[in-house]
Structure 1
Amino acid sequence: MKLKYLFILFTLLIIPNSLFSQTKTPFLINDELFELPGKWEMLGKVEKSGQYGFNNKKNKLTLLISVRKTEKFEFYSKDLSELDFLNKFYTWESEHWLKDDKKIEVEKIELNETEKYIIWRLKIIDQNIESFILSGVRNSRLIGISLSDNNKKEPKSRSEKTEFLKDLYFKK
């Protein structure tokens, strides 16, 4: 039975892409499908955070993607709405990065209450590392997508980065 579903998934993902020359790299992470535009390779998994790392050598982009059950977080409460959970996560994550370190910038860029996502920026100043992160709640799971293009001579613009994250999250 599982083999049949895998075959159907393979057929739906691979054949249309090859017929229309649309290059996408599919990855299934904790039952969430992500179709990364272009050719990506998986770098591995960060066990502590549950993030999977991906690299696009051609475009010099790095992604970290995680899909975690909301009830696994220390601040989870069944009484929290998905939006309340998302806001608590953002506060928790921001405080983690900002504690004891003045060389970190955290900036909330966009909060969409209807679609339940936050886009935010994390910058490690002394290492000149900047990541744009989309954190969203879907199907009782926290989905995190972090984009870095720190190795490029001309990084993507802020709007290009946020649109890229939204396209991945909403599977466009």
Structure 2
Amino acid sequence: MKLKLIKIIFAIFIISNLSFGQTKSPFLINNELFELPGKWKHIGKIENSAQWGFANEKLKLQLLINVRKPENFEFYNKDLSEFEFLNKFYLWETEFWGKDDQNVEIEKIETNEQEKYIIWRLKIVDKNIESFIFSGVRNDKLIGISLSDNNKKKPKSRTEKIEFLKEIYFKK
């Protein structure tokens, strides 16, 4: 009787997980765990910017994730608060993309001093490439998550992209 009850509970557990459980793809980058919702594949690493690339073929999405120590940046100063450092990083990034007469659009979307993050959009007009970027400081590390939506038939909305980035960063 006891064994039968255990089998029934086990079967219910398995069926409910198969039916209702959401697949997540875990990746550990510089001792930070990222659980990407859905099925993601690691597609490479950009060495000079320490970015790890991931693709979700079903959703036609690409992510670049980097986790770096603030001390590695030329503008780092130990007297800066984490949010001040984050703002300096944002300026440094936007100056990089705006130099050399590149035809780019940069838009700061959301800033949160308490949770230490900035969400912004970068569009390289000539190449028709648009990325939504989440830059945050967590566990004394600078974390960057860049989302590109390559789904031409049914792309995610602006709000969906922003919420997706937050979901990844805050591990929802």
TM over 0.5: yes
Summarize deviations over 1:65-97 as a string: whole Å, max 9, x none. Answer: 000001000100000000000000000000000
Amino acid at match of 1:126: D
Say if 2:128 is the partner of 1:128: yes
Checking the alignment, whether the CA contact within 8 Å between 1:147 and 1:165 is kept in structure 2 is yes
Residue 20 (structure 1) shift: 5.3
Checking the alignment, whether the CA contact within 8 Å between 1:41 and 1:54 is kept in structure 2 is yes
SS at match of 1:109: strand
TM-score normalized by structure 2?
0.87
Please name the residue that 1:37 is paired with: 37
How many residues in Structure 1 have an aligned counterpart in Structure 2? Answer: 157
Please name the residue that 1:93 is paired with: 93
User: CA–CA distance in 2 between the matches of 1:19 and 1:128?
Assistant: 39
Gap runs ≥5 in structure 1: 1-16
Identity %: 73
Residue 140 (structure 1) shift: 1.3
Amino acid at match of 1:21: G
Residue 153 (structure 1) shift: 1.9
Report the aligned-residue RMSD. Answer: 1.5
1:4-153 map, 5 Å: 21-153=21-153
SS at match of 2:49: coil
TM superposition outliers: structure 1 runs of 4+ over 4 Å: 17-20
User: CA–CA distance in 2 between the matches of 1:37 and 1:154?
Assistant: 18
Summarize deviations over 1:25-48 as a string: whole Å, max 9, x none. Answer: 000000000000010000011000
Larger Cα-atom Rg:
2
Please name the residue that 2:6 is paired with: none
Residue 22 (structure 1) shift: 1.9
Amino acid at match of 1:110: E
SS at match of 1:48: helix
